[in-house]
Structure 1
Amino acid sequence: MPFTPTGYLPYDFANRRHIGPSPSEMADMFTAVGVKDLDDLIDQTVPENIRQAEPLDWGRARSEREALHQMRVTAAKNKVLRSLLGQGYHGTVTPPVIQRNILENPAWYTAYTPYQPEISQGRLEALLNFQTMVSDLTGLEIANASLLDEATACAEAMVMGHRVAKSKAKGFFVDENSHPQNIAVMKTRAAPLGIEIIVGDPEADLVPEDVFGAIFQYPGTYGYVRDFTDQIAALHAVKAVGIVSADPLALTVLKEPGAMGADIAVGSTQRFGVPVGMGGPHAAYLATADRHKRAMPGRIVGVSVDARGNKAYRLSLQTREQHIRREKATSNVCTAQALLAVMASFYAVFHGPEGLKAIAQRIHRKTVRMAKGLEAAGFEVTPKHFFDTITVNVGPLQKTVMKSAVEEGINLRPVGDDRIGITLDEATRPGTVESIWRAFGIARKDDDFTPEYRLPDAILRTSDYLTHPVFHMNRAETEMMRYMRRLADRDLALDRAMIPLGSCTMKLNAAAEMMPVSWREFSMIHPMAPADQTEGYTILIEDLKDKLCLITGYDAMSMQPNSGAQGEYAGLLTIAAYHRSRGQERNICLIPISAHGTNPASAHMAGMDVVVVNSAENGDIDVADFRAKAEAAGDKLAACMITYPSTHGVFEETVREVCDITHEFGGQVYIDGANLNAMVGLSKLGEIGGDVSHLNLHKTFAIPHGGGGPGMGPIGVKAHLEPHLPGNGLIGEEGAVSSAPNGSGSILPISWAYVLMMGGAGLTQATRVAILNANYIAARLKGAYEVLFTGHAGRVAHECILDTRPFAESAGITVEDIAKRLMDSGFHAPTMSWPVAGTLMIEPTESETKAELDRFCDAMLSIRAEIRDIEEGRMDAENNPLKNAPHTVEDLVGDWDRPYSREQGCFPAGSFRVDKYWSPVNRVDNVYGDRHLICTCPPLTDYVDTTE
C-alpha cells in the first residue's frame, strides 16, 4: 500500500529535526489542550485580523544533504586568500582541541546565560579565566566577561568615561590612528548623547581641558606604537579619563595600559584563536581600575560561596546589566560574546604566558624581516617603531602592487592613494613574506632568521602576567581535553535537557546548520576582503535577507546589529534619522510598562525621552492611556516600542489600533521581534503596522546562545526607512553600530541553512507547534498553578506565565526556591520574576518532544505537591527540599539530618536515575559574593580544590 502522509506536513526527517512532537503525540496533546487539531488551536490563539493572507513559500524545503551541498557550492564562491588587511582583524590558528571541544561542542554552544549559577559553574570558571587574562594583560584590576566587538567596546568605554570623569567638558578626543570602524561607532553613539567627538593626533591636537576623556589606539591602525603615559597624566591633571584600545597579543611584549595610568582599556580578543569569520563573532573586552567597577557595562563573573561554604562562581553586581535601569540606563548591554570569550580564555590556557609571548615575538620578527626586505629594495617603510603593521610608500604603483599581491594569494590594505598597509599575524609563514616581496617586485628568500626588534626599550613590558596556575597547567592535549570536559560536565545545557526560558527561545541548533561555521571558506574571510572574493557570502546574505523580508513583511534588512539590544538601538537610530531627514525634531518614545528592559535603555541611548504606557488589568496595553500620551506628545512623538506577541505571552487584539494611533501622530512603530517565533508563517510584523523590528536570529532562526552570546539582531524596515539604515564603519560611513557591516557574518550560515531546510511550510509548522507546546504545558499544570495571562479564548501564545507569588505567603516558598528545586530534576529554570516579579515565564519551543514536556510537568507538579505539604504542615517550613535545593552528591553521601529522605531530596519526579544531572555546588550565596567581590581567578589552594 503506498505511503500517504498525514497531518499538516509530511512526517519527514526535515521537520522531525526541529519539530519535537510526532503526529501521534500531537493527537494526545490536542486532547489534553481541548482542541480538535492545530488549525483549531491557532484559530483560538491568533486574532484573525493579524493573520497573513498568503502562506510562506520559497519552493521545496531542502533535505539535509541537499542543504549541505548548496552550502558547499555557495562557500566555494568565496576565495580564501591570506588577508593581511589588519584594521583589528587578524589571521589566527585555532588549536584543534579548542575547535572540537569548545566551538563545535553543543555542551558549550547550547548553554544559556549563566543567570542560574549553580548549573553554570563550568562556563563561569572559563569566563573567570577570561577576566583574569584580560586584567593581567591590561594591567588593570577588573575586567568584564566580554562585550560585542572592539568598536562597540570603544563606544561603551567612551560613555563609561563620561560617567566617571570629574571633568565637565563635553568633548571626547579620539586618536586619529584608531581603526576607522572604532571612530565610526563612537561617532554614532556620541551624537544622541550630546558628546562632541574630536579626532586628531594625540601628540599635537589633544587639549586636555577641552575633553572629559580620550581614547588611544595601541598599536595604531597604521602601525604606530606610542607610549601614552604623558597624555594620560595630562588628562588626569584636569580630572579627565584616559582610555586605551589595545591589542591583547601585543600586550605580551608592550607596556600595558595600566602602567601608562589608563583608567579603562578595551580591545578585541579575536586573534586568541577565534576565526576572523567575515567580522565576527569575536569577544571584545573592557577592563578598568577597581575604583570604576560599579560603572562598568556588561557582566562580571565573581567568586562567592555556596550553602556549605564551598567556593562557587556567579555573576556579580548584576545591576551592571544596565537594561535593568530602564530609561535611566546609560547602556543597553545585555549580550556578551561568552562562547568566543571561552575560546579566547582556553587559547591563553593552551599557550600560557610563554607561548603567547613567543607568538607575539615571532610575528614581530617576521614583520621586521619583511620591512628590511622592502627597505633594501628602496621602499619607504613607516613607522619607525611597530609591532605587526607597517605602511609602505609605493607612489603611483599602489594598484599594481595590490593586484600582484592578489595573484600571489594575498590581500593588502590600500592607505590613501600612494601607500599600502601590511599586517602580519600568527598564521604568517616564511613563504607569505616571500610572496609579499614578489608583489613588490623583490626576489629574495626569507632566510635571515637573526632576531631583530624595532620596539624601543622604554615601551617593552617589564611586568609579569598570567601568573595564575590555570595558565601554567600541563598543556598536553590529554589534560586540556579533560579540563574542558570537566568544566562542560558542571553545566546544564540544551544537550542535556529542555531550557524552558520565556522570551529566550532555547530551541534546537541542528548539527547540519552548525557545521558550515567551521568551513574555511566561511571562517577565514576578512570583512574587508574585495567583493570578488566574497561572492558566496553575498549570495548567502542577500538570499537570507530576502527570506527574512518575506517572513516579516518588511522591505529591507540590515544584518549589522550583532545582538538583539544592538538591533533595538539601530532601529531607533534609523527612526531618528528619518525624522531628521524630514526636518522634524521628535524625541518622545512611548513604551508599555511591560516592555523588555532593554527597550527604554535603547531609547535613551538613541537620544529619546521615554514615556511609560500603563497596562490594562489583563496585561494588555492600556489603549486609552496610550492614546492620551500620544496626544500629549503631539508633534514630538518619535516612536512607540511594543513587543508582539506581548511580553505576557498573549496575542493582543488591539495591536493594529496601537500602531494606527502612533502613525496618526506622526510617530514610527518599533515592534520588538523577540517573540517572532510565535508569528512566523502566521502573521507579518510589517503588515500589522510595524515600521521597523529587530529579529533575534539567536532565538527564532536557530543560532545558538553560546552561554550568553553570540547573538544577531538584524533589523527589518519599511521602504521609507531604508535610506537611514546603518552605514559601513570599516570604510568610515556614518551610522555604524557595530564593527563589521554584516555583524557576526560567520554565523549567518546557520540561519540560512535553517530556513532552507525548513522551507516556508516547515517554519509555519514550527510556529504552530511552539504554540501547541506552550498550551500543553499550561493545560497540564492547570489547577496546580495559575496562568496569569491568556487570550480571549483562554489560550497562550508561545509562552505562559505561572503565578508563584501566593506560595510565598502560604508556605514561605519563593520563585527562586522553585527554580533551584527544578535543578534537582535536571532542568534549567524558566525565566524568573519577569515581566512580573515572583512569577515563572515558561517557553518550551517547538523542538521539545512530548516526553520532555511531560518530564518537566511532572517535576513542576511534584514541586507543587511539596509546597502543599508545607502549607498543610506535613513538611517543615524551613528545612525542606525546596529551601535546600539544589542537592549535590555531597548531600547524598554526607551526614543526613533532614526531615525528608535522601531519595526525595536527590531524585525528585522528572529526574533520571542513571543519567542524573548533579549540580556541582549547593545554592550560591549572592549577598556574600557582592560583599566580597573577587573577579579574577582565586588562589592556587582554591584552584586545586576545584579541579580535583
Structure 2
Amino acid sequence: MAFEFTDYQPYDFANRRHIGPSPEEMADMLDVVGAESLDALIDETVPASIRQKCPLDWGPAMTERQALDRLRETADMNRNLVSLLGQGYHGTITPPVIQRNILENPAWYTAYTPYQPEISQGRLEALLNFQTMVCDLTGLDVANASLLDEATAGAEAMAMAQRISKSKKTSFFVDAQCHPQTIAVIRTRAEPLGWDVVVGDPFTDLEPANVFGAVLQYPGTDGDVRDFTPVIKALHGESAIAIMAADPLALALLKTPGEMGADIAYGSTQRFGVPMGYGGPHAAYMAVKDQYKRAIPGRLVGVSVDARGNRAYRLALQTREQHIRREKATSNICTAQVLLAVMASMYGVFHGPRGIRAIAQQVHQSTVRLAAGLERIGYEIETTTYFDTITVKVGAIQGAIVKSALDGGVNLRRVGQDRIAITLDERTRPWVIETVWRAFGGEFSFDEFESGYRLDDVHLRRSDYMTHPIFHMNRAESEMTRYIRRLADRDLALDRAMIPLGSCTMKLNATAEMLPITWPEFSELHPFAPADQAKGYRLLIDDLSDKLCQITGYDAISMQPNSGAQGEYAGLLTIRAYHAANDEGHRDVCLIPTSAHGTNPASAQMVGMKVVVVGAAENGDIDVADFRAKAEAHAGNLAACMITYPSTHGVFEETVREICEITHQHGGQVYLDGANLNALVGLARPGDIGADVSHLNLHKTFCIPHGGGGPGMGPIGVKSHLTPFLPGHPASGGDQGPVSAAPFGSPSILPISWSYCLMMGGAGLTQATKVAILNANYIAKRLEGAFGVLYKSPSGRVAHECIIDTRPLQQKAGVTVDDVAKRLIDSGFHAPTMSWPVAGTLMVEPTESETKAEIDRFCDAMLSIASEAKAIEDGKLDRENNPLKNAPHTVEDLVGEWNRPYSREEACFPPGSFRVGKYWSPVNRVDNVYGDRNLMCSCPPVEDYLEVAE
C-alpha cells in the first residue's frame, strides 16, 4: 500500500528519551500488575486527598535541538572575562584527555557511591590516588575522599576540632585572612551549636588558652604567606587543635602544614583541572594526623584484600555513615565530590610532581613580574611574601583602576575602599599582566621583567611529594587514556546496567543535557564575577527556580545547598531563623519518624535541635497516635518535624496531611524531605500537602548524575513566610548566613536539570512519575511468591520503590542480604539499597528510565537467587560452599583448579547475565573486617602489591 501523509503519527521523542518502556511494553506490564490503565494504577496508588489540581504547564516540550539552542542563547548572555579575583577560585586548564574521558564519560559520571566495593575498584583506586596526593602535598598522614567545598570543609574541620580537642573551651579562632565565604560558613555552623567565633590576626589576637581550636589560611586571602609554626606550638600548649586552610598548588613550593605541626588541613582542589563553573562543583580535601583518622568526616577509601587474598579497595570505617548513626552522628555528610576528586587526582597523575611544581613556579614567577611592574609604576605592594596573590594600595583611584582593567577584559578584586587584590593562575598569559599594568597606568612588555622568587627561605618546601609510581607513569596521552579506561572497566555504572537503588533514583542522564556543562560560557565563570557578566546564569537559575516552584508548590527556591544533606541542614536553619524572628528561639525539638530519610537526625543535631523519634505502625506508616502524643508533649518547644514522602518504606501514606496539621497546631514547621520527589512530580506538590520547606535532590529527580558519589545538588523550596530566612552570602547579600562556599552552590551543573525540564515539559515530567510507579509495581508483582514486599498501601500498591524482604532466605538457608547483593554482580547488576530502612532487606527503585527488558533481566536474576536459596534449603547445594556464598565470581574462577560442588557455568553465567559483553567483577568478595583492622588509606608501595600477588 502506498504511503499516505495522513498515516503520519507524531513520535514523542521527549518521553522516549527518559521513559524506558514503550507504550506496548507498558500495556504488558499493566496486565501483569493488574491495572486497567496507567492512570488507573496511579489512582490506586496515590491518595486522592493529595493529588494536585492543575497540571504542570510551561509550554510544549522542546526537542533536543531546540533545548540546546536555548542553552546556547543563554550561555551567550554570560561574559566570560579573565577573572583575577582569587578567594579560592582560579582559572585552570583541564587536560583534554581528562575532560573527554572522565568529565564527559558516562562510565565515570553515571556511577553510584562505591558502597559495593567489588564493582567500584576503578573509582576507588582514583580516590586512593586523590588521598595519597593530598597527604603528600599537606605533609599529613590521612586524607578523606573529598568534601563538598572549601568553606564547608572549614566548618567540618571546626566541628572535628571540637570533638577531638581536650580543651573544654567553646570559642574557635578564625584567621581574618581566611576567605570571606569560609568565615561566613564557619559562623553559620558554629552559632546553633553555641560556639563563639573569634576573627582576627593569629599573631596578635589569638589567645590559645581561650579556644578549642583555630584555623589559619595559607596563603592568606590577600596573598600573605606566613609561617604558622609558633602559633601552632602555642595552640598545642593549651590542648587546642591547629587547622590550616591550604592551597594545594602553593604546597608544591611552600612548607607543608604537617611540617608546621598542624593537626588538620583542608582546602579546595578546584585548581587541579576542575573548571570554576561559577562556583562549583569542586572537590574539597581534608587531611589529618594519623591519631585523628577515626574522627575525620566524610568518606575514607582504604585497602583490604578479597577472598583470594588479592589487593582490593573499599570504603573504610563505613559504620560512621550517617544513615546508621542518625542523631548521634557528628556530621550529616552523605555526599562527596567524587567525580571532581577523580578529575583532580588524574590532574596529579597527568602532570606528576615535576609538572605540578612547574605550574606552581610559573604562577609564582608571573606574580613576581606583575608586582615588579606595579612597583616600577610607583605602587606599594602590601604583600611582601606571596605565592600567587598580591594586594596593592591604590587609594582613591581604586574604582578607576578596576574599571580600566574591566574595559580590557580583566576582573580585579576590590579590598576595602583603597586596595586591590590580584590573583594569578595557570591560565594567566602575558597579555593579561600587560592589561593589568595598563589599568594601573603603566605601559610595559612582559619580557621586560625577569622571573624571580618573593618567598623567604623559611617558607620553602624541602620535602618530596607524590613519590608513588602512579604519579610517575608515562604520561603519553596513549598511556593516560588507557589508564583511565582500565579503571572505568573495573566499575559497574549506569552506562552498563540498571542500578536499582531505592531512594537514590539512578535515572538516565541524557547526553544532550550533559553537553552544556563544559561550554566555557558556563564552566569558566568566577562565582564572584560582576552580576552583569552572569546574566545567562541568572536567567537559567530564575527560570529553573520558577519551574521547581510550580512543581513543588513552594514560593521561593535557594540554589545554594550543594548536596541533599546540605539542603536538609539549610532547611532546618531556615526554620530555626523563622522561630527566632518570632521570638520563639526556644523551639528546639524536632520530631523524626523512623521512616524518614537517614540523614535527617544528623541534620537536626547540626542545627542544635533535639531529636525525638516517632515510631512506625505495623504497615510502615508513621504512627499517628505516637506522633500526636509527642507533638503535644513538646508543644511548647516544638520546632519542626521531618518527614519523607512517600516514606522510605515505599508507600504513599494516607495520613500525611494530618501529620502536617498536628505539627502546625503545636507551633512547629514541616520539613518534607525531597529524596523521593521522583514519585510526586506532576501528581502532588509538597507545598499543597502542608509542608513548609523541602530540599530537592536535583542529582536524583532532575537528572544531575551521581558521579560515583557526587556531585550532588540539594536546593530548598520554602513557603512565603520562610523566604526571608533563606541562606545569604557575603558576595550577594542576605540576612542569613551561607551554608556553602558559592552563592548558588554548584551552578555549572544546573543546565542539566533546566534542559531536562525544557525537553520533557510538564506533561513529560508527569508521565515519568507515573512510569516510575508502574516499574516499581511491576517488579513487586514479578517477584511475588519468591520474595515478600514488606510494605504496601491499602490497595496493595507500592510507590516508586519497594522493599524486598530477603530475611526469610537467611532464616531458611543462611543466605544473607550481602550474599544476594554479591550474587547480583554475577548477573551484571548493582545491588539495590541494602539493609535500609529495614535491616536484612533490599530497597528497589527501577526509575522510569529502564526498559521492560532490563527490568525483566533484573527480575530473572532475583528469581534465580531465590531458586538457589531454595536449593540450599533443600540440601541440594552446600550451605557454606555455594554460588551465593562465593559470589561474586571473577575471570580467575574460569581457570585453574575447580573443587566447588557447582559448575563454573552456574557460577559465572547465572540468569540475567550476558554471554557476550558480560561484566566481570575485578575482585572476589572484599574482606571488610580485614580492611578496618589494617587501615591503610593511601597508595601502597609497589612491593606491597607484589607481596599480595605472591
TM-score with structure 1 setting the length: 0.99
**Corresponding residue number in structure 1 for 2:550:** 550
String of CA shifts for 1:542-593, please: whole Å, max 9, x gaps: 0000000000000000000000000000000000000000000200000001
The match for 1:453 is: 453
- Correspondent of 1:736 among 735, 738, 742: 738
Alignment partners' CA distance in 2, 1:134 and 1:756: 40
Cα distance between partner residues in 1 of 2:330 and 2:311: 33
Aligned twin of 1:860 = 862
Counterparts of 1:658-673 in structure 2, within 5 Å, are: 658-673=659-674
- What amino acid is aligned across from residue 233 of structure 1 in structure 2? K
Residues 3 and 579 of structure 1, relative CA distance in 2, 3 Å threshold: farther
Whole-angstrom CA distance in 2 between matches of 1:831 and 1:633: 34
CA contact 2:651–2:793 (8 Å) conserved in 1: yes
Tell me the secondary structure at the aligned position of residue 883 of structure 1.
Answer: helix
Partner residue in 2 for 1:296: 296
State the TM-score, normalizing by the size of structure 2. 0.98
Query: Which of the residues 896, 903, 915 maps onto 1:901?
Result: 903
Aligned residue type for 1:643: T
Q: How does 1:131-146 map to 2 (within 5 A)?
A: 131-146=131-146
- Give the aligned partner of residue 789 of structure 2: 787
Name 1:440's counterpart in structure 2.
440
Cα shift at 1:451: 2.7
Spell out, residue by residue over 1:466-521, the C-alpha distance to the aligned partner (whole angstroms, 9 max, x if none): 00000000000000000000000000000000000000000000000000000000
Shift of residue 353, structure 1, vs aligned partner: 0.4
Secondary structure class of the residue paired with 1:302:
strand
1:4 CA displacement: 7.6
Matched residue type, 1:593? T
CA distance in 1, matches of 2:49, 2:332: 34
Q: Tell me the alpha carbon deviations over residues 798-830 of structure 1, each in whole angstroms, 9 at most, x when there is no partner.
A: 000011011111000000000000000000000
Structure 2 residue identity aligned to 1:901: S
Match of 1:811 in 2: 813
Q: d(CA) in 1 for partners of 2:764 and 2:329?
A: 40
Letter of the structure 2 residue corresponding to residue 234 of structure 1:
A
Question: Paired residue for 1:633?
Answer: 634
SS at match of 2:618: coil
SS in 2 for 1:214: strand
1:352–1:471 CA contact under 8 A, matched in 2: yes
Show the counterpart of 1:58: 58
Residue of structure 2 aligned with 1:871, choices 873, 898, 904: 873
Deviation at 1:3, TM superposition (A): 6.2
Structure 1 residues 484-883: aligned runs within 5 Å:
484-584=484-584, 585-730=586-731, 734-883=736-885
Tell me the amino acid that sits aligned with residue 578 of structure 2: Y
Contact 1:316 1:933 in 2 (8 A): yes
CA deviations 1:813-857 (Å, max 9, x no partner) are 000000000000000000000000000000000000000000000
What amino acid is the match of 2:938? T
User: Which letter does structure 2 place at the counterpart of 1:509?
Assistant: N
Instruction: State how 1:186-585 maps to structure 2 within 5 Å.
Output: 186-448=186-448, 450-584=450-584, 585=586
Matched to 1:249, the amino acid is L
Post-superposition CA distance 1:912-946 (Å, at most 9, x none): 00110000000000000000000000111355799
Residue 108 (structure 1) aligned with residue 125 (structure 2): no
Quote the Cα distance in structure 1 between the aligned partners of 2:870 and 2:946. Answer: 43
Q: 1:143 to 1:333 in 2, by over 3 A?
A: same
In the aligned structure 2, how far is the partner of 1:323 from the partner of 1:271?
32
Contact 2:268 2:283 in 1 (8 A): yes
Closer/same/farther in 2, CA of residues 507 and 209 from structure 1, 3 Å limit: same
1:294 is paired with a residue of what secondary structure? Answer: helix
SS at match of 1:836: coil
**What amino acid maps onto 1:851 in structure 2?**
A
Once the two structures are superposed, the pairs formed by residues 76-91 of structure 1 within 5 Å of their partners are 76-91=76-91
1 CA distance for matches of 2:673 and 2:260? 43
Shift of 1:396: 1.2
Q: Is the 8 A contact 2:732 2:743 kept in 1?
A: no
- Does the aligned pair in 2 maintain the 1:730–1:739 contact within 8 Å? no
- What CA distance in whole angstroms lies between the structure 2 residues aligned with 1:262 and 1:486? 37
Give a deviation string over 1:169-205, Cα, whole Å, max 9, x none. Answer: 1110000000000000000000011110000011110
Query: Residue 40 of structure 1 aligns with which residue?
Result: 40
Q: Following the alignment from structure 2 to structure 1, what is the Cα–Cα distance between the partners of residues 337 and 159?
A: 20
Amino acid at match of 2:627: F
- Contact 1:182–1:729 (Cα < 8 Å) also in 2: no
Counterpart AA for 2:923: V
Confirm or deny: 8 A CA contact 1:56 1:761 kept in the other structure: yes
Is 1:128 the counterpart of 2:128? The answer is yes
CA distance in 2, matches of 1:382, 1:716: 44
| Alignment check: 8 A CA contact 1:5 1:11 kept | no
Q: Is 1:939 aligned to 2:941, yes or no?
A: yes
Equivalent position amino acid for 1:374 in 2:
L
AA of the residue aligned to 1:648: H
CA offsets, 1:622-672, max 9 Å, x none? 000000000000120000000000110100000000000000001000000
Residue 185 of structure 1 contacts residue 729 of structure 1 at CA under 8 Å; is this kept in 2? Answer: no
Instruction: Give the secondary-structure state (helix, strand or coil) at the position aligned to 2:428.
Output: coil
Q: Which runs of 5+ in 2 are unaligned?
A: none
| Pair 545,731 (structure 1): closer, same or farther in 2 beyond 3 Å | closer
Equivalent position SS for 1:421:
strand
Residue-by-residue CA offset, 1:32-63 (whole Å, 9 max, x unaligned): 10011101100000000000001000001110
Cα displacement (A) at 1:322: 3.7
Provide, for residues 71-126 of structure 1, a one-character-per-residue CA deviation record: whole Å limited to 9, x for no partner: 00000000000000000000000000000000000000000000000000000000
**Alpha-carbon distance change, 397 to 795 in structure 1, aligned in 2, over 3 angstroms:** same
CA distance in 2, matches of 1:238, 1:140: 21
CA-CA distance at 1:597 after TM superposition: 1.9
- Cα offset for 1:861? 0.6
3-state secondary structure, aligned to 1:899: coil
| C-alpha displacement of 1:594 | 2.0
Counterpart contact for 2:92–2:426, Cα < 8 Å: yes
Distance 1:735 1:627 in 2: 33
Q: Which runs of 5+ in 1 are unaligned?
A: none
The CA deviation string for residues 375-423 of structure 1, in whole angstroms up to 9 with x for no partner, is: 1001111211110001111111111111111111100001101111100
Inter-partner Cα distance in structure 1 for 2:243 and 2:62: 50
Preserved CA contact (<8 Å) 2:146 2:283 = yes
C-alpha separation between the residues in 1 aligned to 2:797 and 2:445? 74
User: Structure 2 counterpart of 1:871, which letter?
Assistant: E
Q: After superposition, give the CA deviation of every residue in 1:139-183 in whole Å (9 maximum; x if it has no partner).
A: 010000000000000000000000000011111000000000000
Cα pair 1:559 1:743 within 8 Å, conserved: yes
- Map 1:4-23 onto structure 2 (within 5 A): 11-23=11-23
What percentage of aligned pairs have identical amino acids?
A: 73
SS, match of residue 90 in structure 1: coil
Q: Please give the alpha-carbon distance, in whole angstroms, between the structure 2 residues aligned to 1:361 and 1:644.
A: 54
The aligned amino acid for 1:655 is V
- The amino acid across from 1:922 in the alignment is N
Deviation at 1:729, TM superposition (A): 3.7
Aligned mates of 1:730, 1:881 — CA distance in 2: 58
Indicate if the aligned counterparts of 1:559 and 1:742 stay in contact, CA closer than 8 A: yes
Deviation at 1:595, TM superposition (A): 1.8
> 1:297, 1:322 within 8 Å by CA — same for their partners in 2?
no
- Asked if the contact 1:139–1:256 (Cα under 8 Å) also holds between the matched residues in 2, the reply is yes
Q: 1:2 Cα shift?
A: 5.5
The one-character-per-residue Cα deviations of 1:305-325 (angstroms, maximum 9, x if unpaired) are 000000000000113334421
Q: Is the 8 A contact 1:588 1:633 kept in 2?
A: yes
